[in-house]
Amino acid sequence: MEHTEETTKLIEIERKAKPTHISPIVIVIGLALTYGAIWIVAYSELVVKQIQIAICQFSPIALGMTFIVAVTNYILSSLFRRTILKPSDIITIYVMVAIGTMIASRGLMEKLIPVMVAINYYATPENRWVETFYPHIKPWLVPFDPYGLEKQPVARYFYEGIKEGAIPWGDWIRPLLSWSIIVLAIYCAFICMATLFRRQWVDNEKLTFPLTQPPMQLAETSIFRSFITSRLAWIGFLLPTIIFTINGLHTIYPTVPEIRLQHNLNQYFTQRPWNAMPFTTVYGSLAAIGFGYFLPTQLLFSLWVFFWIARLQSVLMAWLGLYVEAMPLYPTHLHMGYQVAGAYIVLTAFMLRSAFPHLKQVVLYSLGIRKHGSIEGKDELLPIGVAFWGLLISFIVAVLWSWLAGMSLWFAIVEIGIYLGVVVLVMARSVAEAGLMMTETSFRPVDIVQLFIPARRLEAKNLTPMCFLDAVFTRDLRGLLLTPMLDALKMADTLKFTRRALLIPIITTILFALVTSCHVELLLPYKYGAVNMYGYAYWGNCIWGFGHAMSVLQSPERFPYYHRTSFAIGIAVTMFLSFMRSRYWWWSLYPLGYALSASWTMIVFWFPVMMAWAIKSLILRYGGMTAYTRLRPLFIGLIFGEFFMAIVWATYAMVTRKTAPFFPWP
């Protein structure tokens, strides 16, 4: 969006003051909005089941609520002729709501609470979970008695609803407190990682952090004023508003025609070898097209091209008569899952190599070997030394917790190490560099272990606690809290306010959201019965791992030659792409696109990404940068319009107890 001379002056005036703390009133506002948002998220995602409103890294509920805050602030500031909320205040509120709702959604609670009772409710004499897994479940991990039988009252009432009597809160206290230890250790590690990698990614590598663009449009008063007075912005806002209004009316009055936003393509590929193609569908998200507009054209091209290359690999293998095997617990095939694992290893190595001078200074400074004035970090989220030791202690606590839960010590180190040191790092990088709208991978730490040891040799004593950890942390990474922390630090830099000022709001929100969302997401299942609620949370993610572990224990041992070949291919391809990308400016294929090609993220967003690439390419080719800049408000409007309607329909569903239209970010 172009700035006039007057607008530029206003921005400079706004930035002259550099707030060193966030007002307690702003924190209270943020917590109040977070509390309301948690209720909306829990009800819309778990009871209504049609609006997954907080599973993405762009957090529709957070951005939608911040839009409402910005409009209210603009009106009040105009009426009273003074600034009510500063840009730093609006960004703080956005970050608080984003973090709080991610915890309530797929970031934690929708995975943690169900997994604690699902294994009891779904255990049967036929699946033999009681005799296989129960001996290895520590009593402090779950609210039921692991020495008892299946479908104990605490689990049965959770899934079927409690008709009479009180909710058994007492049974949940010990396991929730026990789980809070590793949860807080992981979140502490995220805060430390955000501190340690901020300087490298923001100052040294100049990553763009694309997901910060929309909230920044809301925070700066002058930019927001130009946005809400733009016709293009309102046209963009109205397009999704009209679509979701029509679709919402369709849910109330079925005679109103529906605008379909999902179309399964597999129904057209029923003959061999095309039927070997993994799940492929079209999701029509205008907000995703809006986000894609702000990404580099070559990156957009890489994302959707590698998505289709991954699918055509499966078709080619089937055509050659090769066995196409599913990747356990992921919507892709095994050969692609292990190629992605190899790609992650290479990307991590390249990131650490690039950051080595910075990380070396961090280590030397933290150990007191060499003082670096430039690395001291007086305005970091945490002091550098505290972040270094905090990360190390958090890792040790998480490993020891896993060991006490029953894992072998070496396996606990590998599980937590790969999760924090590889998967989380690559996912955070994909958001910071590529504006990835959803953090999902295609392999678990145990899949790396299987390159060397067949999973059956781990035995039930390791697989049991692993299934709990995979369900809560390592399998589904949507709602990864590290990314909004990094985005917050980037926005603090842009708006010129103290990064350290965000520490108290972040910590306060984490603690508040843990307690609040825990209460809400225990209350709803006991009221409605989890069997009637969102299937992915209550009979999907929470039990898939145990089902697969059981099949592993019952199957013959298989040496992983096939896994190793695919893993080696992933390493080789990613090294080639990285070399070409660093050596030749004209090379348009990003290695990151290859690493994300098999993920659920690209299943959901490949079509909007392709549309954004096509639209942006045409605009740049025939209108140049002038046309691209002038059209930016249109695409920002698409984002705000879709997210605002998500809040409207989620609130409507919660108040009226009726269904809502489908939103295309499942």
Q: Taking CA 419 as the corner, what is the angle to CA 605 and CA 301, rounded to the nearest 5 degrees?
A: 25
CA pair distance 581, 346, nearest whole angstrom: 14
pLDDT of 600: 94
pLDDT of 13: 44
Alpha helices (H) in 210-333, listed in sequence order: 213-219, 221-228, 231-252, 286-292, 297-319
Give pLDDT tens digits for 145-176. Answer: 999 888 999 999 999 999 877 889 999 999 99
pLDDT of 368: 85
pLDDT of 289: 96
DSSP symbols for 29-52 = HHHHHHHHHHHHHHIIIIII-S--
pLDDT of 18: 59
The candidate with the shortest Cα–Cα distance to 635, out of 293, 357, 334, is 293
Intervals of the chain under pLDDT 50: 1-17
**Biggest distance spanned by C-alpha atoms of the chain:** 75
pLDDT of 301: 96
Name every residue whose Cβ is closer than 8 Å to that of residue 211 and which is 6 or more positions away in sequence.
Answer: 57, 58, 291, 431, 435, 437, 483, 487
Query: Does residue 141 contact residue 568 with C-beta atoms inside 8 Å?
Result: no
- Reply yes or no: is the peptide bond before residue 273 cis, omega within 30 of 0: yes
pLDDT of 20: 66
pLDDT of 21: 78
